[in-house]
Amino acid sequence: MENITRPPTDVQKQGLLVRGKETADELIVVGSTNLRNVPKEKRVAMDSVELKVKVFELFDTNDRLQIDQVQTMLNQPRDPVKKVLESISDYHSQTRSYVLKSAYREFRPLQKQ
């Protein structure tokens, strides 16, 4: 086997591929690949009434919503979103989605056609 005295132009360091650098002093670290140590951004729950209004607004544009969609769109924690969805909508296990209860559908604004 041949000894390599210097690193190749494609250097692997900490799981990152850095091209065009030949010495360790010139390495550019562009990020970390260890995502377990990166703290997640905490989602702060808004007031339940405000959350309910936002969910109603989402139902104005969508007939069916999944909990992950609502959570992502509103950037809210899962538990408060689930409580609001359970109170104002029915869960359909086949599609894993929530549909607005019929009592609330009557009061929805008319869609522009």
CA-CA distance, 2 to 64, in Å (whole number)?
63
What are the φ/ψ torsions at residue 4 (nearest 5 degrees)? -105, 120
**Which pLDDT does position 3 carry in this prediction?**
60
Where does the pLDDT of residue 56 fall: very low under 50, low under 70, confident under 90, or very high at 90 and above? very high
**Which pLDDT does position 66 carry in this prediction?**
95
Residue 40 φ/ψ region, left for φ over 0, alpha for ψ in the -120 to 50 degree band, beta for the rest? beta
Q: Which two tokens stand for residue 12?
A: 């692997």
Q: Going from the N-terminus, what domains does the chain have, and what CATH number goes with each?
A: 1-33 (no CATH), 48-105 (1.10.10.10)
Q: CB-based burial of residue 7 (10 Å sphere; 0-12 exposed, 13-18 middle, 19+ buried)? A: middle
| The model scores a pTM over 0.75 | no
User: Which is it for strands 16-19 and 10-13: parallel, antiparallel or unpaired?
Assistant: antiparallel
Mean pLDDT of 87-98: 95
